[in-house]
Structure 1
Amino acid sequence: MVIERSAASLQGGLSPIKQTQSSLEHDLDARAVIALDEAREMPAGDERTEAIHKAIVLRNAADLHKLLSGKRGAPGI
């Protein structure tokens, strides 16, 4: 079996798909941090609870993305 690689992926080190995944990971992580910081500054109540929940959802999305993209020590395929 022969697997061809594009010149773009060889020259750039990472394929455009991997670069997009890294960017998405970074974006989700940054949004989770910002959401949690904003929630911590809010007074106690329903709005703060909802904001903390949003931060947790964003953090879980970032963690899930890392897991599914094989960035946690999973062997490459």
Structure 2
Amino acid sequence: MVIQRSAVTPQYGLSPNKQTHSALARDLDARAVIALDEAREMPPGNERTEALHNAIVLRNAVEIHALLSCKRDAPAA
């Protein structure tokens, strides 16, 4: 499982390509990064597995929000 962590950096905040997203997207993205960091610090087991699952759910929410909030006039990237 690979989750990009480039969206939020502790020193510089949001990366330039994430600054155009809504406050909801930024909040979800930050929560996903925090959840992933916390899960990585846990010992192996059911709690860690569930924490990783929650981080993935948050990351998916960010991606779904980005897809649903795209402008219809914008060309596909």
**TM value normalised by structure 1:** 0.65
What CA RMSD, in Å, does the superposition of the two structures yield over aligned residues? 1.9
Unaligned runs of 5+ in 1: 1-20
Q: Which 4+ stretches in 1 moved above 6 angstroms?
A: none
In structure 1, the partner of 2:15 is none
Alignment of 1:75 with 2:74, yes or no, is yes
User: Which ranges in structure 2 are unaligned for 5 or more consecutive residues?
Assistant: 1-20
Measured in 2, the distance between the counterparts of 1:63 and 1:27 equals 13
Aligned ranges for residues 1-77 of structure 1 at < 5 Å?
22-70=22-70, 75=74
Tell me how far apart the structure 2 counterparts of residues 75 and 34 of structure 1 sit (CA, whole Å): 31
**SS of 1:44 mapped into structure 2:** coil
Pick the structure with greater CA Rg: 1
Percent identical among aligned pairs is 70
Matched positions, count: 54
Q: Which has the higher helix share?
A: 1
